[in-house]
Amino acid sequence: MARYETLHQASGITPQARGQQLNLLLADLFKAWGVEACSDQTGLQGRDEIDVGFSLGNTYYILEAKWGKDAISADPLAKLLLRLRVRPPGVLGVLVSMSGYTRHVYDFSASHPEIILLNRDHVESMLSGLIGPAELMHRIMSYCSRHGGSFVPIGVLFPPYENPYPAPSQWDVLSRERLSFECSRPPNSDVITPKGGSFYGDNRRKITFSLEPVVIGSGSHYETDGFSVTNDRRFLFTGEYGVQEVDPSNGSSMMLLKLSDCTSTAYAEPGGSIVALRGHDGRSVVPPPRRGIATVRWNPLESILSIAACGVAGSKLTRDIDGNIWLFCPGTSSLFYSKPPSIERIGKEPGNQNLLDITCKAKVADVCPMGATSVFVTTSGNGYALVDLSDTGSPSGAEIVSSPSDLYTSAVAALDEQRVAILARNKYGNGWCFYIFNTVTHRRSDIVELTGLADITDIEVAGEGEILLRCITYGVSPRSTVWKVTLSD
């Protein structure tokens, strides 16, 4: 992906040099997926040249790649047809245009299905780890054999799967009387009750809070893996079969994105698009040699699925105080390959992100962007660090500071440029402590300790003085419950 970003941002490079580098990149990409491939091959007696040759099973392909400023005409398609005529029967052609095609190309290819058309979305899907070449070509050929043609948009290749355990169409709206819990008095609190209490924040300022349940799943088998809140105060739940939106005022819900194998937390952008993480399709007929995580963007108004970034297993999406979405990759370490944890802000398309390595003296467990210039990092071994991103593109090693308590951090969210809300298990493992931590003064302000709420997995800042907690309750089936914490002076 780094080589692709270099090509994407290249300036001053000749079209010929860029084309050769693209050929080599595509050949190496196929090889990384376990596909036999080679680049820049010359035909017999030098009569022609193919950019990339590769094979899938007993099918052989010759590929022509173009990366110009404008959509290409039908000329490359016609030249590729001539090259196919001097190859054995059964060889198929693939035309890749990173800048798209004119309408004449689509019209011409409709009567020449022996050449498959790929665009930038298809290439980025393979680069990001969303789908491999074998599975990509299988899906394209399967679709075209039923419908005709030779071009299939990437979004069409991922049809919504029917969930055998559908998401509940109605969530239950809760009140304090309908769901009980136990809470204890933090050391610096005046009073604590099931409905609320008070604590002393920075500068010994007394802050009151209230705690109340909002919604709970209706009890279907739909399991959720992530939780976020939109600008209009609707809840997004991410599950194996897509992203579900819930209106907390009446409990109504709908599936915004029907896409299998979604993971982590999905976020809504100001324009209405949904950014989510997706791994490889578990229903693939061709098992991929490696498993990656792709960041996808779904535009519900235009029904367009596109690639936003790539990741590795364990990656997660997070959001800073300005609403920008970031991708955190935990890094890998082995005998032959090592890559530090990194974070990048999601841009409009792959290749225009600024990838920043996070180098700490301990294993990074989770991150919380405080803004454009700093990241709050929690580490294994119960520590934390504030990493400054403003000095260099890749910050130097950050000093690890011991945690202000013997708690085990589970989730963290930024309240402003200095303070973070932290959810942690207590040292006995039978309860949860919710507190605010000032990254400048290193002062911790306990809010409440809760027991009887099973797993509390997410923190979301919904607005000024309003924080949402998502917990999982277990019974006949796991159910998500959202609690609201309201803070006021």
Residue 293 has a pLDDT of 73
- Spell out, as residue ranges, where the chain has pLDDT lower than 50: 176-196, 198-199, 221, 281-290, 392-400, 404
Number of H helices and number of E strands within the chain?
6, 35
The mean of the pLDDT values for the chain is 76
The beta strand positions in 108-186, using DSSP E, are 115-119, 172-173, 182-184
Lookup: tokens for 213: 């349940």
pLDDT one-digit tens code per residue, 15-59: 778 888 899 999 999 998 889 999 988 877 767 888 999 999 889
Structure tokens, 247: 């209106």
Q: Give the side-chain half-sphere CA count within 13 A for 482.
A: 30
Q: Which helix (H) or strand (E) holds 108?
A: helix 103-109
In angstroms, the CA 465 to CA 416 distance is: 11
Q: Are 284 and 264 in contact (CB under 8 A)?
A: no
Q: What is the pLDDT of residues 62-83, one digit of tens each?
A: 999 998 888 999 898 989 998 9
Q: Please give the helix or strand (H or E) that residue 263 lies within, else none.
A: strand 262-268
* CA 328 – CA 225 distance, rounded (Å): 17
Decide if 245 contacts 256 (C-beta within 8 A): yes
Q: How many CA atoms lie within 13 A of 228 on its CB side?
A: 23
Spell out a b/e string for 290-316, using b for 16 or more CB atoms within 10 Å of the CB, else e: eebbbbbbbeeeeeebbbbbbbbeebb
Query: Closest by alpha carbon to 316, among 342, 348, 277?
Result: 277
Give dist(CA 270, CA 150) in Å, integer: 35
| Cβ-contact 332, 338 below 8 angstroms | yes
Separation CA 290–CA 32 (nearest Å): 9
Q: Give pTM, 2 decimals.
A: 0.75
Query: For the chain, what percentages of helix, strand and coil (3-state, to nearest 5) are there?
Result: 15, 45, 40
